[in-house]
């Protein structure tokens, strides 16, 4: 689990990362993993989330702004309609945004088991592979100069 400001972010075995509103409504589905997501980390600015998983990849997502930042006309609408709802109830349901990855970071040969996003340009990741901890510069997708990889 990670937090984008006051919005919780969770992941599932089917490879989906979900961003929830502070009120508990799902706002975004971050799609792109092909296997279970094992780890999450939010950017220091709370505007992006990194996810790592059994597909040996780290994906970066930039979900839409929080519900509180949307126009007032949409924030009061229900986020989910009851099964079988028709008419006005079906028409006012707010769709959940589907978000594609903004970037993919490589370097692991096994499951990405932990992530920590320490600065805007530096993401720490750990894997079950032999070289356990990898420092990845988000801007270049390369280990930073002078780090453990040097």
Q: What tens digit of pLDDT does each residue of 77-133 get?
A: 444 444 555 554 444 556 899 999 999 988 788 999 999 998 888 888 888 876 555
Write the pLDDT tens digit of every residue in 132-149.
555 555 555 555 555 444
Q: Which residue has the tokens 């420092």?
A: 135
Write the pLDDT tens digit of every residue in 27-63.
999 999 999 999 999 999 999 999 999 999 999 999 9
> Order of strands, edge to edge, in the sheet holding 122-127?
112-119, 122-127, 133-137
Q: Where are the beta strands (DSSP E) in the chain?
A: 2-4, 7-11, 17-20, 26-30, 37-42, 49-53, 58-61, 97-99, 103-105, 112-119, 122-127, 133-137
Which CATH number applies to 2-114: 2.60.40.3620, 2.130.10.10, 2.40.40.20, 2.60.40.10?
A: 2.130.10.10
Token readout for 43 is: 């950017």
Helix (H, G, I), strand (E, B) or coil at 25: coil
Q: Which residue has the tokens 């709802």?
A: 85
Whether pTM > 0.75 for this model: the answer is: no
- Residue 67's region, left for phi above 0, alpha for psi from -120 to 50, else beta, is alpha
């Amino acid at each position: 689990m990670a937090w984008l400001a006051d919005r919780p972010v969770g992941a599932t075995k089917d490879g989906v990362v979900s961003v929830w509103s502070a009120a508990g409504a799902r706002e975004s589905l971050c799609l792109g993993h092909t296997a279970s997501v094992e780890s999450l980390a939010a950017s220091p600015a709370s505007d992006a989330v990194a996810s790592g998983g059994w597909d040996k990849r780290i994906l970066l997502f930039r979900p839409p702004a929080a519900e509180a930042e949307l126009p007032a006309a949409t924030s009061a609408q229900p986020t989910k309609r009851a099964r079988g709802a028709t008419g006005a109830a079906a028409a006012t349901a707010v769709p959940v945004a589907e978000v594609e990855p903004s970037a993919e970071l490589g370097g692991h040969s096994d499951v990405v088991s932990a992530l920590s996003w320490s600065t805007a340009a530096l993401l720490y990741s750990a894997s079950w592979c032999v070289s356990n901890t990898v420092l990845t510069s988000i801007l270049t997708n390369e280990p930073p100069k002078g780090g453990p990889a040097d």
